[in-house]
Amino acid sequence: MPLLGLHLTVARELAHELASPAIDADRGAFYLGATTPDIRVLTRWDREQTHFFSLSEFGEQDGVRGLFDSQPQVREAAVLDAPTAAFMAGYISHLVLDEDYICQVYRPLFGEQSSLRGDVTANLMDRLLQFELDRRDRDMPECVEEIRRALDETAVQVSIGFIARETLLEWRKISCDIIHNPPTWDRFRRIASHHLASAGIGDEGLERFMGEVPSMLQRTLDHVGAERIEAYLQGTRSRARAAIEEYLS
């Protein structure tokens, strides 16, 4: 799934395109919403609790519909205050980007039903792709600073019911740290080390893998193809925008 940096830079693009009074009233709340489905990193909740999408089910799913079925108190943006509506609009963008990535990229190209069978190498290639897309999209310091400043300035005066404000404040600090620190290959080393460790591969295997990163990245990009990457990025932005427009209308 897209890393938080990509979620934030896409959210920034959507905010500029939409020019919504609710979003513009609290850009920081919108950006925070765009990261919050991944708050499970902090809370240790199951992924389905915040994404409303099961990775183990291969039939049709709709995370946004699942969100509103589970949390009807945030279904109608018109009855929410502006910061809460902005936050939920960002939340929707995250769900759309993740769902599209799973269905259009991960499952057909890296997952257990793909030609790579979802093995350790396939999942490392997937994480390399996620990291590369994040790295490309954050190569604009002024945009990253705009996001960080908005996150830092928001009062997080949102009331959504299913996540406590105190937890959101703690998550805001983590989101600020993530967007403040560029996606260097040293940071990717930490991502890879956790994944390899879960597969029983230690430091020696990590060093060997990091030495193979340039060639594996190229192999990954060739495997996915530039057209599919662009189709995902453009298509998911359009779908997220449409979902937000429908929500805020």
What are the tens digits of pLDDT across the range 35-93? 999 999 999 999 999 999 999 999 999 999 999 999 999 999 999 999 999 999 999 99
Is pLDDT above 90 for 142? Answer: no
For range 187-215, the mean pLDDT: 90
Q: Cα separation of 53 and 78, whole Å?
A: 25
Judge contact between 83 and 154, C-beta under 8 A.
yes
pLDDT confidence bin for 5, thresholds 50/70/90? very high
Q: How many CB atoms lie within 10 A of CB 212?
A: 12
pTM, full prediction:
0.96
- For residues 147-165, give the mean pLDDT: 97
User: What is residue 170's predicted lDDT score, i.e. its pLDDT?
Assistant: 98
Instruction: Count up the domains in the chain and report the number.
Output: 1
Looking at every residue in the chain, the average pLDDT score rounds to 95
User: Is it the case that residue 137 has pLDDT exceeding 90?
Assistant: no
Q: What gap in Å lies between CA 36 and CA 212, rounded to an integer?
A: 33
At residue 195, does pLDDT exceed 90?
no
- Segment holding 42, helix H or strand E: helix 40-43
Q: Is the pLDDT of residue 128 over 90?
A: yes
Containing structural domain, residue 230: 4-248
Whether residue 141 has pLDDT greater than 90: no
